[in-house]
Amino acid sequence: MSAPMGDGIGIANLPNQRHKIVAKRGAHFTIMVVGESGLGKTTLINTLFSTELSPSKSYHKRHTKLLDKLTEVEIIKAELEEKAFKVKLTVIDTPGFGDYVNNRDSWSPIVDFIDDQHEAYMRQEQQPQRHEKTDLRVHACLYFIRPTGHTLKPLDIEIMKRLGTRVNLIPVVAKADTLTQNDLFVFKQRVREVIAAQGIRIYTPPVDASAEEEAEHAKMLIEAIPFSIIGSTEDVKTPDGRITKGREYLWGVAEVENENHCDFKKLRQLLIRTHMLDLISTTEENHYENYRQQQMETRKFGEPKVKKLDNPKFREEEEQLRKKFTDQVKAEEARFRQWEQHLIAERDRLNKDLEMAHSAIKQLEVELDNLGAGGYGGTGSRGQRR
């Protein structure tokens, strides 16, 4: 029993059907960028817009949204259209978190934001009238990795683990132009190893063995993960006379769209051309469905979600714990300082003793020499005189 082919029904045509449904509705596609401060998140968004989305066809609208007292995200909207296939593209630019140990609070609003969009969508679905939902569920989350040349930091691992279970996580190596080709190759390899060893969930393009060309393309994309990125909106002139987006150096030009320099083109292809539908449907079928089921298990229908950090009791507890910890550290520090003072005093005392012993020895030696010069002879006689 083979599935009917060619008439638009059947498993073989599933991606096609999905395409049609999404095309009819007009897709909402939301990308989010996350990572430490200064890694080029905003620059990459601007690069995407300046290379792909021509201003005549798309409109930009930037507005900011406050997540909590400290965190503000910027939301950029544009409309893409390709062969009657309309996409409302939204890019969410988050402020980078600092490079500190205790910066947990600076990224938890980002994780909360993702959950909140699932929550908002779920609540709208529960309304009797379900048309025209506002939908900011994140379909692709680009996580920026600092190009250290070493490996992922513990903070990266912690955040990526949390993101990976909530969204389609796409790791990218920032500022690829700051590493040599060889260092970049080794670095990407190490990042892949850590991702696997730590069980971090990342988005992997599906490989459909029945469609050879697509499968090859997917494999090529998978091999490029984590995508290395060069961001720039500047037009520069290459040594061979081309004008292109890139970054100019004494040694030449790092080109954004040159596949020998970075994976920007592959990433853009994945996001805007080949895997947008897969990113949308996996968000719907896996991530949103996970969220919905989890919430259904832990609360009654229609009951509001309890946010851990919003709960005054938790906040108070956290504050108390933090204070206790800080006090303990302070006390320990004072104790160490005292101990150090004591050691220094002890060392000085010993030094002084040593000096005194030295001068006493010197004195004795002088006396001995004097005695020797007085005619009582060599070492043998010294022993006898004692």
Ligand X SMILES: Nc1nc2c(ncn2[C@@H]2O[C@H](COP(=O)(O)OP(=O)(O)OP(=O)(O)O)[C@@H](O)[C@H]2O)c(=O)[nH]1
Chain positions contacting Mg ion, by CB under 5 A:
41-42
The yes or no reply on residue 103 touching ligand X (CB under 6 A) is: no
Least CB distance to ligand X at residue 248 (A) = 11
Residue 231, interface with ligand X (CB under 6 A)?
yes
Q: State in angstroms the smallest separation of the CB of 43 from ligand X.
A: 3
Residue 177, interface with ligand X (CB under 6 A)? Answer: yes
The binder of ligand X chosen from 89, 96, 143, 152 (CB under 6 A): 96
Residues in 239-258 at the binding interface with ligand X, rule: CB under 6 A: 247
Instruction: Name which of 39, 93, 85 is nearest 65 in CA terms.
Output: 93
Stretch that binds ligand X, among 33-41, 101-109, 198-206, 277-285 (CB under 6 A): 33-41
Q: Does 118 bind ligand X (CB under 6 A)?
A: no
SS (HEC) of the chain = CCCCCCCCCCHHHHHHHHHHHHHHHCEEEEEEEEEECCCCHHHHHHHHHHHCCCCCCCCCEEEEEECCCCCEEEEEEEEEEECCEEEEEEEEECCCECCCCCCHHHHHHHHHHHHHHHHHHHHHHCCCCCCCCCCCCCCEEEEEECCCCCCCCHHHHHHHHHHHCCCCEEEEECCHHHCCHHHHHHHHHHHHHHHHHCCCCCCCCCCCCCCHHHHHHHHHHHHHCCEECCCCCCEEECCCCCEEEEEEECCEEEECCCCCCCCHHHHHHHHHHHCHHHHHHHHHHHHHHHHHHHHHHHCCCCCCCCCCCCCHHHHHHHHHHHHHHHHHHHHHHHHHHHHHHHHHHHHHHHHHHHHHHHHHHHHHHHHHHHHHHHHHCCHHHHHHHC
Instruction: Kindly state whether residue 283 participates in binding ligand X, applying the rule CB under 6 A.
Output: no
Q: Which of residues 323-382 bind ligand X (CB under 6 A)?
A: none
For residue 175, state whether it binds ligand X (rule: CB under 6 A): yes
The footprint of ligand X on this chain (CB under 6 A) covers a number of residues equal to 16
The answer to whether the beta carbons of residues 62 and 74 sit under 8 Å apart is: yes
User: Which residue lies nearer to Mg ion by CB, 41 or 217?
Assistant: 41
Candidates 142, 159, 230, 270; binder of ligand X (CB under 6 A) is: 230
Residue 40 in the binding site for ligand X (CB under 6 A) = yes
Q: Which stretch binds ligand X (CB under 6 A): 61-69, 224-232, 287-295, 322-330?
A: 224-232
Note whether 17 binds ligand X by CB under 6 A: no
39 touches ligand X (CB under 6 A):
yes
- Min dist CB 94 to Mg ion, Å, is 8
Residue 130 corresponds to which tokens in the numbers above? 């379900």
Q: Which is nearer to Mg ion, 174 or 179 (CB)?
A: 174
275 binds, among ligand X, Mg ion, none (CB under 5 to 8 A by kind): none
* 261 near ligand X, judged by CB under 6 A: no
List the one residue from 41, 217, 261, 275 that touches ligand X (CB under 6 A). Answer: 41
The option from Mg ion, ligand X, none interacting with 165 (CB < 5 to 8 A, set by class) reads none
231 binds, among ligand X, Mg ion, none (CB under 5 to 8 A by kind): ligand X
Q: Collect all residues with Cβ–Cβ distance below 8 Å to 139 and sequence separation of at least 6.
A: 29, 30, 31, 167, 168, 276, 279, 280, 283
Work out which of 50, 178, 238, 281 binds ligand X, going by CB under 6 A: 178
By CB under 6 A, tell whether 42 contacts ligand X: yes
Identify what 287 binds: Mg ion, ligand X, none; CB under 5 to 8 Å per kind: none
List residues near ligand X by CB under 6 A: 37-43, 95-96, 175, 177-178, 229-231, 247
